[in-house]
Chain A
Amino acid sequence: MEPAILTEGLTRRFGDFTAVDGVHLLVVPGQFYGFLGPNGAGKSTTIKMLTGLMSPTAGRIQILGLNLATHPVEVKRQIGVVPEGMALFGRLTGSEYLNFAGRMYGLDRDTAAQRAAELLDFMQLSDQPKTLITDYSHGMQKKLAMAAAVIHGPKVLFLDEPFEGVDAVASGTLKSMLQRMTSHGATIFLTSHVLEIVERLCTHVGIIHNGRLVAQGPIDELRAGVSAGGRQTKITLEEFFLQTVGGANKEAQELSWLG
């Protein structure tokens, strides 16, 4: 079976600075893959390259067996993306936007309208049909961006911080939708700062630090740490993450004026 996402030596440089340095990613179909890393580690740059928003300086990207550089349109047809900026058109209503998104992904007018209505209902956004997106709350915008990303039934879904600013109720809705998608064979690749969510949802994780992929694998294997006495013990994802990226807490003694 072709991997859903495969990168080889993926590199991106900005002048002298290397944001992503020879990353080898492997995500198989049906995986719920969490891509973690501290701020500035290269997560967003990687996801931008995987979705065609940015070109790599070196390396190869293969999505569902297709080379992204040579088959960008074919790849884009099969993926859904919720990028960092959510890619919304603020001065459309929610239904107009979903309708637009569906047709841009090749759905006919009837199907686009029907799926838009269903998604609005599912995301609990249908009670404000005439409200412009710009007047939506942040959480509502996130839900709408997610709805637009799945309207064509993508095989791979890329989500950049999908739960940021989303309340518990909306978060529950999104999670159930994502889990349903993976149970039907779709692959989800998400970045998030909220490790609890990643721990609960993802089957696999990759950790990027200073542009390099420093860990990758099934979440349970990564959490199986070794205690001081040499015994196998299960640690939390947060503990593993901090061990991996070396996140020592900085003393706040210099900020004495904070009281």
Chain B
Amino acid sequence: MAGVNAATGEQLRAIARLRWLLFVNSLRSVRGRLNLVSRSIAGLFVVAAGVGGGIAVGAGAWAVMMENRLVWLAGLFWLIFLFWQMFPVMATALTQNVDASVLLRFPLKYSAYFLVRLIYGSMDIATALGLCWCTGLFFGISIARWTLIPWALLILVIFVAFNLLLARTVFAWIEHWLSTRHSREIMGVIFLLMMLSIQVSGPVLGRFGSRPSAQRLRVLSKYAVVERAFPPGLAAAALSDFAEGRGQGAILPLALSVGYVGLVLVLLDRRLGRQYRGDNPSFGDKRQDLSNLAAVRRGWRLPLFPTSVSAVFEKELRYFSRSVPMLFTMIMPLVVIFVMWGGRRGLLSSQAQFLFPIGAAYSLLIMTNIVYNSFGGDGSGVQFFLVSPVPFRQVALAKNLAQLSVFLMDVFILWIGIRFIYRPPNLRVSIFTFAWCLFAVPLNFSAGNLLSIYSPKRIDLATFGRQRASEATILASLAVQITGVGLGALAIYIGKLASTLWAGSFMLFGLAAITIPGYVLLLQRMDRFALQRREVLAAELFRT
């Protein structure tokens, strides 16, 4: 057994080397090289957002310190905290969790496993930007008051540790909770309650917004006590205390911050510890239903479509319904509307009508993974499509129909949400949104079908953070979506110029007259594309 208990450091080095070799070997293929280019371009955006955001946050912190408006410090900490924790969930297309559980077959020590999960899990955009912004915050504070350098450093290290651990903990636990049908149902109820609470909170906040400003300030100061009970508020409170020379007063918020880090560490340790001992999440229920032979139910039938299209459509919807991360993502447009909403007198209240097209555009954006990598979730099942006598265009059509159903359902939920939070979108805006969808959906589906065949990547629809398509696909899909949204914005502008939104809608109907035949034309060529790419499709999606 000599050598089995290799040192943890050696194991970590081996894993790092493995990842490096995987990266180097990926460059052998054209797709791998394209991914590197895409990653570099995306990296530029991340660097810009990191540096730009860091400078902005730093300037904000500097101004707060110079003008001695320390109460605003909490805002900066909350901004970083909310982005760090919410971005990975809201933009799963840009987030990826590395499945480190495959390493458990090796004699990996728990400490090494924990570190690997933490380090590789933290290699995402949210962490990179969060770290940049925290650095900006540190420099802003330090330049304004150099005497605060050690305290700012200490507080920010604790804050960063908390965010790193919390992000991993949330993913680890959600993954676990969603692994069984029972807990999925509980989570479903929680989501439902969340949606209801959004509707209830509308009138409450509206009433609050109509109060006199003195009264609002009094209420806000009451809630500030609550805010200070959480890590961003605690970090800001500790820093304010040090800045005002009340070092002793900072001890409690500092201690509580450390306590939060400890709590999150324990929670993460509990989950990873169980995973390490073999309790890995699976998207299937291990239930043993020993009831007697159940007659096999007949499949669904889509009127006007061949049986094969109905069969694939049914299969796709069953897949979506069993992917809770996908369902979770679907309610995100509502959450975004809530986040953007600042009450009836808030940021968007004057333009509330346009929340409907904005929400529809976001609904299409969050479908990137399933539209632009539509075979990714099938894994080796794609071989079945390739050996079956069904033309590939029918498979693609069925997948698009299923995606369209999900999109329409999402838009419908959105409409309900907007109707309750604000008022029903008026006819002009509804027609405008319809026209935009008529133009943008075929555009996205056409590009999605092509990229699904030319840049496939095996994904796990059932596990949080493992739905990301290839980098090349993400970049191309973003380009298509920016075009779609840009033309939508242009249509609004034209509507404003013409003093009627109908002009914008007319323009979008015109564009739809191009994208719909384009989609049909492309669909007819899908058999040829699939034939050309069948080996890559089968090989890429068979890969584990």
Contact = CB atoms under 8 A, between A and B. Distances in A.
Interface of A: 48, 51-55, 72-74, 76-77, 79, 81, 83-92, 95-96, 98-101, 103-110, 112-114, 116-117, 120-121, 126-132, 134-135, 148
Contacts of A129: 289, 291, 293-294
A48 B535 CA distance: 9
Contacts of A91: 283-284, 318-319, 322-323, 377, 461-462
A98 B299 contact: no
A89 B298 contact: no
Given A83-B387, A126-B293, A89 B315 contact: yes
Given A85-B542, A109-B307, A130 B296 contact: no
B462 A116 contact: no
Nearest to A74: B389
A139 to B, nearest CB: 16
B284 A135 contact: yes
Closest 9 CB pairs of A and B: A85-B380, A132-B284, A87-B383, A103-B311, A76-B389, A87-B384, A135-B284, A77-B389, A89-B381
26 contacts: A53-B534, A55-B534, A55-B535, A84-B542, A85-B380, A87-B382, A87-B387, A89-B319, A89-B384, A91-B462, A92-B318, A95-B296, A96-B315, A99-B298, A101-B388, A104-B388, A106-B307, A109-B298, A113-B297, A120-B293, A127-B289, A128-B289, A130-B287, A130-B289, A131-B284, A131-B286
A121 B292 CA distance: 11
Contacts of B531: 55, 72
Interface of B: 282-299, 301, 307-308, 310-312, 314-315, 318-319, 322-323, 377-384, 386-391, 461-462, 531, 534-535, 538, 542
B285 to A, nearest CB: 7
* Interface core residue of B379, B391, B531 (most chain A CB under 10 Å): B379
A245 B219 CA distance: 86
A127 B318 CA distance: 21
Contacts of A120: 293, 296
* Interface core residue of A74, A76, A98 (most chain B CB under 10 Å): A76
B317 to A, nearest CB: 11
B378 to A, nearest CB: 6
A226 B378 CA distance: 51
A85 B462 CA distance: 20
B379 A90 contact: yes
B388 A90 contact: no
Contacts of B298: 99, 109-110, 112-113
B89 to A, nearest CB: 22
B380 A103 contact: no
Contact of A53 (B283, B315, B538): B538
Nearest to A94: B296
B315 A92 contact: yes
A98 to B, nearest CB: 7
A129 B386 CA distance: 27
A99 B296 contact: yes
Given A103-B311, A135-B282, A98 B384 contact: no
A85 B141 CA distance: 58
Contacts of A73: 389, 391
* Interface core residue of B296, B310, B319 (most chain A CB under 10 Å): B296
Nearest to B380: A85
A138 B301 CA distance: 32
A40 B31 CA distance: 25
Contacts of B297: 95, 99, 113
A88 B379 CA distance: 8
Contacts of A96: 315, 318
A107 B282 CA distance: 33
A154 B387 CA distance: 13
A109 B299 contact: yes
* Interface core residue of A84, A87, A92, A116 (most chain B CB under 10 Å): A87
A103 B299 contact: yes
Contacts of A86: 380
Given A55-B535, A134-B282, A135-B282, A101 B384 contact: yes
* Interface core residue of A83, A107, A110 (most chain B CB under 10 Å): A83
A98 B312 CA distance: 12
A26 B299 CA distance: 39
* Interface core residue of A81, A120, A130 (most chain B CB under 10 Å): A130
Contact of A52 (B295, B315, B387): B387
Given A91-B319, A126-B293, A131-B288, A54 B534 contact: yes
Contacts of A103: 299, 307-308, 310-311
Given A121-B293, A132-B285, A100 B299 contact: yes
A100 B461 CA distance: 20
Contacts of A114: 296
A147 to B, nearest CB: 12
Contact of B381 (A72, A77, A87): A87
